[in-house]
Structure 1
């Protein structure tokens, strides 16, 4: 399951559990009351006008509710002799859920039972601590502290400047209307500050940090984290990655995005947005408009999406993936991987051993590395591949791929391909081949290495070394089980 789908599933689960398992707060009373309902669930409504300190424990089928003020035993519960602040509630079978509702003043709730719990805090400055199972923790007005602990938890801060901390599970942590602080812990967490100027920490695990309307500071920390920018009318965000491979995603944006990974303060996002993407973030996704996206000195992964995009890898060994549209892709320094979907793309390698790939293309591709304008790609596409690209990969069709005067690596991949090295000492591969056609690999000038075959014995190929560059000559390697013909091969290896 992809990370966005996992995050959506986590939210859906939180909403479902909240609707099914959560009993709403009863009319506030001067004395708290605990009861059993649905045979396996316990609910406790704390006393109003009191400072409650509620501790929940379990022994077998019995849930004990212990407060600092008087508690009344309701259905399925009994008072504890000599302690008016404690009741014991016994369910028909093992208890499955606990509901706690506290009222006004500054209350404390701690769940020490290994049973899932939902807690609705009241209007004071409350402190709520969940248990080892799934928790649903809801703040109210006041400056609250919410600690989820174990299980896959859902925590919502609501009003006030709140502190929210996840636990060991996959948690969904949501800020409210104030200036909140959210802290993920282990596993995959989803964190959203919502309104206000929030500070968010992902913690360990591969986390999903959502943009919100406030001026937030988002720290991915450990793990491979994603910063999801899903609002077209946002406030400035300060995004910091940390250890791991981190990524900023503007994929839902419909306005033009200008963003890079250079760490410059306030120069990212749509015009006037003022986002800051730190230097320790490696990945960047554009939206559906014509975006301009740039990398940094790390090994970056940049995806343009729809629109006529401009992608710049800069330093590092980068992967630059354009979407539909007429895109310009420049690798810069390093050994870069360049790829576009259908459209008149310009793909320039820069320094380093760069690759253009049509690996996902299902139709025939005719492409070369001669640098001529508009002569590459599928029929009518008019791609331009720069002469500073050294490697070329075909797709699933019957492709014709040609190198240049440099030392090239050309891979035909699927289909009945024609691969030509041109000048230079090239490495040429037929790829997986076709059961119905014949791969043809021509070394041409230079001392070339030619590989042929396929994963099927019915694949056919021809390896033709062509003229030699030196006395060493061409090397042909029929290293697949197909049926091959070797021509002008001075050396043969298996």
Structure 2
């Protein structure tokens, strides 16, 4: 085509070659294996056959492919990919800064190289994130979505529920939803943020930080650290007292007299055989009350006794800021055996 006007051209059932002009063209090959060639304008290509070929020039405008195919990878010099219809689709970008837009199906979107924007839509979408500048966009009630991140450090954007670390990724952080965050073979740091989160460390020496909410923490293989920020009742599924560690927030649990990084003073942990005793507080034999931890072997519940007790054994319960910190799941019907050596004092940001 010649001229500068904007064109809207459609082929037939044959294998067509359609060439645009310098305007903003819409090129649709129709049925058949077509070749669509844009020029300097901002062109849109409608691709409906797996054998269709799109050809763009470098600096040939801002161009878009719209397709209903199940799988599509952008060719060179095209910036946008948009899926139409309701089928499940896999979309892959090129080395430009792409915008890839999913449809109502369950999409897998991979921007590849470049700083990309990935927009999922209504389905349960999966995003492959490999550049620190990549942006994942989801809206409320648009499915249960997953980011697979190979970045050293990644934080879920709003309305994305789940995060899986792949490759050399180290750190993963959730948002205010109920996230599932899964580590890889590295030594991961997983932080749930707000919401009732599930964290799975994998095979490395991992640090799991639930954050706000009732979180479920599973370390997996390796020497794992379960970081407790506050009372709230986190669930620890696989604590191994022979190697794993509980990290206590120095400020939240009133341990300011203890050095960050140090093992918990043995006087700060009391082990009892029932929740009833634990909930009554502990008998403090020191001149003034001390905050303590109380662990019930009956239930596997770990409590924060925020006020210790009154002098010489006057019990006052767990105090206003005390309460259940965590529950250790039983193995073969028995809660794990804990000592102060299983606890360290931590600043935990």
Name the TM-score, length of structure 2 as normaliser. Answer: 0.61
Within 2, Cα distance between the matches of 1:108 and 1:218? 24
Alignment of structure 1 residues 204-243 onto 2, 5 Å: 204-230=104-130, 234=131, 236-242=133-139, 243=142
1:132-166 Cα deviation digits (max 9, x unpaired):
xx4432111359xxxxxxxxxxxxxx975321112
Aligned to 2:208: 329
Whichever of the two has the greater Rg, that structure is 1
For structure 2, the residue ranges without an aligned partner over 5 or more in a row are: 250-296, 304-323, 338-349
Aligned length: 256
For structure 1, the residue ranges without an aligned partner over 5 or more in a row are: 1-47, 58-97, 144-157, 262-277, 359-365, 368-374, 377-381, 389-399, 423-494
More relative contact order, 1 or 2 (CA 8 Å, 6+ apart)? 2
Tell me by how many angstroms 1:55 deviates. 3.8
Tell me by how many angstroms 1:193 deviates. 2.6
Within 2, Cα distance between the matches of 1:199 and 1:290? 24
Alignment of structure 1 residues 50-449 onto 2, 5 Å: 55-56=11-12, 99-102=15-18, 105=21, 108-111=27-30, 117-122=32-37, 124=39, 129=46, 134-141=49-56, 161-167=62-68, 170-178=70-78, 180-185=79-84, 186-230=86-130, 234=131, 236-242=133-139, 243-251=142-150, 257-261=152-156, 278-289=157-168, 291-349=170-228, 350-358=230-238, 367=240, 375-376=241-242, 382-385=243-246, 403-404=300-301, 410-412=329-331, 417-420=332-335
1:2-31 Cα deviation digits (max 9, x unpaired):
xxxxxxxxxxxxxxxxxxxxxxxxxxxxxx
Within 2, Cα distance between the matches of 1:52 and 1:314? 49
1:155-181 Cα deviation digits (max 9, x unpaired):
xxx9753211122x5232425224x22
Tell me by how many angstroms 1:316 deviates. 0.3
Name the TM-score, length of structure 1 as normaliser. Answer: 0.45
Tell me by how many angstroms 1:110 deviates. 4.3
Contact 2:11 2:18 in 1 (8 A): no
1:175-206 Cα deviation digits (max 9, x unpaired):
5224x221123222222231223222112112
Contact 2:46 2:66 in 1 (8 A): no
Within 2, Cα distance between the matches of 1:340 and 1:135? 44
Within 2, Cα distance between the matches of 1:290 and 1:215? 18
